[in-house]
Structure 1
Amino acid sequence: MTINCKGQIIDLSTPKVMGVLNITPDSFYDGGKHKDETSMLYHVESMLKEGAAFIDLGAYSSRPNADHVSEAIELKRILPIVKLILKTFPDTLLSIDTFRSKVAKTCIDAGAALINDISAGKLDDNMLNTVADSKVPFIMMHMRGTPKTMQIQTNYNNLVKDILFYFSERIAAARALGIVDIIVDPGFGFAKTLEQNYQLLNELELFNIIETPLLVGLSRKSMIYKTLNTSAKEALNGTSVLNTIALQKGASILRVHDVKEAMECVKLIKLLNY
């Protein structure tokens, strides 16, 4: 499988790593950690050197019960950092973590290469058209409700079947508008209980039926640290274990806070010829 990012063909037959840069004050793990431009650039440089194929930039926290942030504030946070990163590291394939079409369009115009939407276009009716017009890859995640309400929407008839049906509908809508490069993210931690997250991981290979690249974001999430009775800060080892399982089950992209360790998982699994 391949995707086209700004004219560059990215081959996902070998899984890639997407490094996370949150510029929100309230993200569950690294909120407020990168408070100035120097810190942000250092973090981006480190992730690129460690092997990140993509950098995912977010200015709206999507953790459970996250506070609402206006579009104006999101843009004020994210646009200067997009420009700063691409001025300093112009070859960076920058993914924008947003569900707002205006934020997506503004960042694409500034040089961003992908859009990563937690709502798969459902929270902004203009998102799919914006992505189609911009001809960039679209990462669509499964979620119910909003970050504020998602954790009370965890009732499913059949968890994996329901999520696959959700993606079939969203992919059809995207394809109808001419979106070519689609990546699906099953949304670990979004509108799912701890037990459902592990069921989803256990049956992850079923998502290969969709025949699109699969992005998995497990990094330091509560499904790890609550199970281990620890904290997000102490969840790196657990993250590596679950990332390894995800790769064995067909993940094409790992979205992570710790690029070096994720790259090690990719390199070791590659030797097993999955």
Structure 2
Amino acid sequence: MNPNPSSRELSVIVGSLDAAGSLRECLTALAASCEGIDAEILVADASADESVHEARAAFPELRVLSLPTGTLVPALWGAGLREARGRVVAFTIGQCVVERGWARALLDGIRSGAAGVGGRLDVRHGTKATGRATFYLRYSAWLSMPDGPVQEIAGDNAAYDHESLRAVRDASAAPFWEVESHARLRALGRTLVVHPAATAWFTDDTALGVMAARRFAHGRHSGSFRVRSGIRTRWQMVLGAPLVPLVLLARVGRRVLRARGHVQGFVTSLGAFLVLACAWAAGEAVGGLTAGEDMREALRST
């Protein structure tokens, strides 16, 4: 994958997709968190704006990879992973700001023997309705996730033993879809854990239409994966699609009720949430029906 794949202690791969409002703060927080660690920060960028060029000027030590505009985050992560030189590889996105102890917490989790270590996610105060809807749809499971061994961790706030990832990936240049890698790690008897000191804070100002298109694309991959893995049949995915938004609404609603301070933020983003949930459901149906076809990894966001 890399001629000298383990020359650093930690590689942090940042998927940057139209994160102009938060990328600089994201990188500032990462730099502070990695202080005193033999770490590298790679930004895999597919933005339509100039945010990555501004970031490069502010952080000259960054390694920047430029991909076609609108490339989905898993493909950005995959490109970064191919170039990563760390013994441990961490993933995040330009819309997340980590706490100062984040990097050391993830490294501690890997040293304890886990193949993957994740942290909780929360939404930043002042995030607009579409950003909040995106957060609750994607990350509500990690609002109050217990510490210790778990079945899943959020790929947007996670680190992995690099050798373990090599053992479960089919190709070095392939997109990194964490759910598939987690399933393969579990099949090998490896452990995923949540660390209490690895929290990240999310915000996003992406337009609703653009975010819906991305949710459709991610849903399409999920539907294809479920059919290819034998979890569902093609027609189960198609016929069940109309129920998916309601199932997601009920599931996320229960999580929000258990978490402190989130009910108002969720209720006031319900319109956007349902749009994104419907886009996800439609994508899953299409992905299930066309499972086996090559998925489009690049998506125009404008």
- TM (norm. structure 1) is 0.31
Bigger relative CO (Cα 8 Å, ≥ 6 apart)? 2
Q: Which has the larger radius of gyration?
A: 2
